Amino acid sequence: MESLKILKKTKFSEVQVLALGFFIVIFIGGTILSLPISSASGEATNFLDSIFTATSATCVTGLVTVDTGTHWNLFGQTVIMILIEIGGLGFMSFATFISVLIGRRITLKSRLLMQEAMNTFNIQGLVKMLKKVMLFTFIIQFIGALILSTQLIPEFGVARGIYISIFSSISTFCNAGFDLFGNFNSYTAYYDNSIILLTVSALIAIGGLGFIVLLELYNYKSTKKLSLHAKVVLLITTILIVGGTIVMFILEYNNPNTIGNMNIKDKIVNSIVASISPRTAGINSVPIDKMTTTSKFITVILMFIGGSPGSTAGGLKTSTFGIILCTAISVIKGKENADIFGRTIPRGLQLKAVTLLIIGMGLVTTVTMALTIAEPNEAFLDVLYEATSAFGTVGLTTGVTQRLSEPGKIIIIMLMYLGRVGPLTVVMALISRKKGTNYKYPEGKILIG
């Protein structure tokens, strides 16, 4: 009782509450999944595998040590689906949405937490925005499930077909790599079904744009303008999707183990999936382990960049990558300031973007080294692929996940958690920092390059 009193008196910052909240959701989800009522066999599941699955679902990753479609029963799969939805949209968003539904007043503390969770600029109109986000989310997921059901009901029957369609729509919109098709095959059985592949690709792309951008696009007809943030996100996203598709198409064109034997239409569609999915969704329509070495490395880069701020995606983020590119271009051109779309990028924002890049690369490098020790029999590129996938909350794997040792599983669990919570915490900590001094030291010269 004394410890509970101390916990109640303890004042947590917004980012600490978010980090703790994710941890609690993961622990509760993992505990439920470990119970016999969650498995298809009716037996208890190893607690580490259950926590791994719950972490992967809540952090909308998709890496799994046990097959989602065959290991878990309907109840277990539903628990995973709920964890994905909570993790994708944020547990604070759900808690606040429920409070609104039951008529409770939203406090300033809750609004500040929502601002942190949704990564918005201010708290004005936040509750109204949350209602629109939730409504928009459910509508998009419903449309996605409706389209998928036209293809899956004939194969699985009405009840199971509808359920798999709903699960797949929620999973892909939330940029999680979970599926119910069994045997770790993801969407490889549907490589020639353009309707399924383009639908899930669209859901991934929409979910990865960020809710602020989506609302701006929705209101564009009346406002006729987009913020600088939205313009940067849309520009970088378009470049990555189009560029990634072209590169994957060229690299895999003659690979008989992936798209080499497909007709031209299927080659293009599967190249689109291979370009969009690494942006933190984690589904695959061709065997990952059969891709060329260059394609795997390109995928690692795409996974590291990830989606956009305030979205269901993870990774470094498109806007951060855009700022770093603009900064590099300005240095190369010898310009004093970095700019884009006629606006100067603040120096502080450039420094934060570079800091996030260094932190992200540091995390991936450290975990890759740790995995080479924990998993000595795995190829280096496969280990790097696994680490980047976990950091970017992607879910793609060359098969390493299913072979992980217990230390390896713990390492990936920690990285999935940091990938979802860590970068957000770092950004907010940097933003909230205040200048502590009114002086600076004399400038010094250091040779670089």
Closest CA to 179 of 275, 268, 64: 64
Q: Which residues contact 123 (CB under 8 A, 6 or more apart)?
A: 108, 111, 112, 114, 115
In a domain, 195, yes or no: yes
In a domain, 238, yes or no: yes
| Separation between Cα atoms, residue 259 and residue 161, nearest integer Å | 27
Tokens describing residue 252: 């895999």
In a domain, 388, yes or no: yes
In a domain, 201, yes or no: yes
Measure CA of the first residue to CA of the last residue in the chain; give whole Å. 59
Question: What Cα–Cα distance (Å) separates residue 341 from each residue in 166, 227, 228?
Answer: 39, 10, 7
Whole-prediction pTM value?
Answer: 0.87
| 344 SS3 class | strand
| Separation between Cα atoms, residue 204 and residue 177, nearest integer Å | 10
For residue 1, what pLDDT is reported? 43
In a domain, 444, yes or no: no
| Separation between Cα atoms, residue 131 and residue 100, nearest integer Å | 9
For residue 311, which amino acid is it?
A: S
| Separation between Cα atoms, residue 30 and residue 417, nearest integer Å | 14
Contact present, 198 and 150 (Cβ < 8 Å): no
Question: What Cα–Cα distance (Å) separates residue 319 from each residue in 235, 242, 306, 353, 363?
Answer: 9, 17, 10, 9, 20
Helix (H) or strand (E) holding 92: helix 91-101
For residue 6, what pLDDT is reported? 45
In a domain, 445, yes or no: no
- Split into its structural domains, the chain has a count of 1
pLDDT tens-digit profile, the chain (449 residues): 444 344 444 565 556 666 777 888 899 999 999 999 999 999 999 999 999 999 999 988 999 999 999 999 999 999 999 999 888 876 555 555 555 554 555 555 555 555 555 555 555 556 677 777 788 888 999 999 999 999 999 999 999 999 999 999 999 999 998 999 988 999 999 999 999 999 999 999 998 888 888 888 888 888 888 999 999 999 999 999 999 999 999 999 999 999 999 999 999 999 999 999 998 888 999 999 999 999 999 999 999 999 888 777 788 899 999 999 999 999 898 888 888 998 999 988 899 899 889 989 999 999 999 999 999 999 999 999 999 999 998 999 999 999 999 999 999 999 998 887 765 565 554 455 555 556 677 877 776 66
Residue written as tokens 């990028």?
345
For residue 357, what pLDDT is reported? 92
In a domain, 305, yes or no: yes
Domain residues for the domain of 66 are 12-119+132-431
Tokens describing residue 37: 């009522």
In a domain, 247, yes or no: yes
